[in-house]
Amino acid sequence: MVLLSARDIHKKYDETEVLKGIDLDIEQGQVVALIGASGSGKTTFLRCINLLEEYHQGRIELEGESIGYSANGRRRKLGERQISAQRAKIGMVFQSFNLFPHMTAEANVMLGLTKVRGMSNAEAQERARHWLDRVGLADRRQHYPYQLSGGQQQRVAIARAVAMEPRLMLFDEVTSALDPELVAEVLAVMQDLAKSGMTMVVVSHEMLFVRDVATRVVFMDGGLVAQSGTPDEVLHNPQTERLRSFLGRFHGIFGPV
C-alpha cells in the first residue's frame, strides 16, 4: 500500500530551482534511503514533506490525503490547524537534534503528547518512559539536554518523534553531527525502529547502514530522482556516471565490481 506519494515537486529559493520535479512513492513499512551529493536537495525534499518549506508546484499525499495544500480547485495552502494536524502524523529528526534545552529528556518527549495528542500527564509520562527505555535511556529521563552526549540527545529526539506514533518518520543526516564513536548507538535505534515496521525516509551517508537496513535506495542528483531501486541495484549497479562517482567516494565499498 502506498503511504506517501510525491508528484512533480518543484521548489525554488528565490530564482534558483532546487527541486525540479521529484516523483516518489513510499510503501507502508518501507525504509527508503535518500542518498546524493551535498546540495542535491535531500534536505529540502524532506522539509517539503513535513511542510517546513513551501513548494510552488506539485502535490504530496499521505494515505491519500493531500498534505499542506488543498487537493482540489485552486492550489491553496491549508490553514495552520490542518497543517499542524498533518505534521503530527509525520515525525522528523534533525541533524542538530533540536531538543528543547529547558526541559528534561522526559519532558521533551511528553510535550507533544500532552499538548498535541491531548494525553493526561500520567499517560504521557508512561509513554515517554516506554520510549526512552526503548532507545536505551531509561537512566537519563531526568537529565537536561546539556547533560547528555550527542548520541544520547539524538536518541531522545528520536523518542520524542516516535512517541507521537507518526505514520512516517523522516531522518535528515541524523548522525552527521556526532562523534564517530557515537554513530553506532543512534543507527542501532533506527535499525530497531525499521525492524518494528516503521515507514522511514532516511537521508544518510552511512553506506553500510543504507545497504543493510534500507529496503529501497533513492539517488538524488540536481533536484531530481536519478535512480531508485533495491540497495543491490543502486549501490552495485549504478546506471549513471554521476552515481558511480558518488559511490566511488565511499572507499570503493560499492560500485561495479
Ligand X SMILES: Nc1ncnc2c1ncn2[C@@H]1O[C@H](COP(=O)(O)OP(=O)(O)O)[C@@H](O)[C@H]1O
- In this structure, what is the dihedral angle of CA atoms 137, 150, 202, 240, given to the nearest 10 degrees? -150
State in angstroms the smallest separation of the CB of 43 from Mg ion: 3
Contacts with ligand X, 3-42, as mask; x by CB under 6 A: ----------x----x-----------------x-xxxxx
State in angstroms the smallest separation of the CB of 116 from Mg ion: 26
Q: Return the residues of window 52-71 that contact another protein according to CB under 8 A.
A: 52
- Identify which of residues 43 and 154 has a Cβ nearer to Mg ion in the complex: 43
Provide the CA 60 distance to its chain's centre, in angstroms.
15
Residue 95: how many CB atoms within 10 A of its CB? 16
- Identify which of residues 143 and 205 has a Cβ nearer to Mg ion in the complex: 205
Q: Return the residues of window 36-55 that contact another protein according to CB under 8 A.
A: 50-52
Q: For residue 43, state whether it binds Mg ion (rule: CB under 5 A).
A: yes
Starting from the edge strand earliest in sequence, which strands make up the sheet with 2-13, in order?
16-27, 2-13, 57-62, 65-66
101 binds, among ligand X, Mg ion, another protein, none (CB under 5 to 8 A by kind): another protein
Return the ∠ at Cα 207 (arms to 203 and 211), rounded to 5°.
100
- Identify which of residues 164 and 235 has a Cβ nearer to another protein in the complex: 164
Q: How far apart are CA 59 and CA 230, in angstroms?
A: 25
Q: Return the residues of window 71-130 that contact another protein according to CB under 8 A.
A: 80-81, 84-85, 87-92, 94, 96, 98-102, 111-112, 115-116
- Identify which of residues 64 and 79 has a Cβ nearer to another protein in the complex: 79
Contacts with another protein, 162-181, as mask; x by CB under 8 A: --x-----------------
Which residues neighbour 254 within 8 Å (Cβ) at sequence distance 6 or greater? 207, 211, 235, 236, 247
Q: How far apart are CA 27 and CA 32, in angstroms?
A: 9
Question: 46, 201 in Cβ contact below 8 A?
Answer: yes
Distances (CA, A) of 105 to 25, 131, 151, 153: 34, 11, 13, 8
**Contact residues for another protein, defined by CB under 8 A:** 50-52, 80-81, 84-85, 87-92, 94, 96, 98-102, 111-112, 115-116, 144-146, 157, 160-161, 164
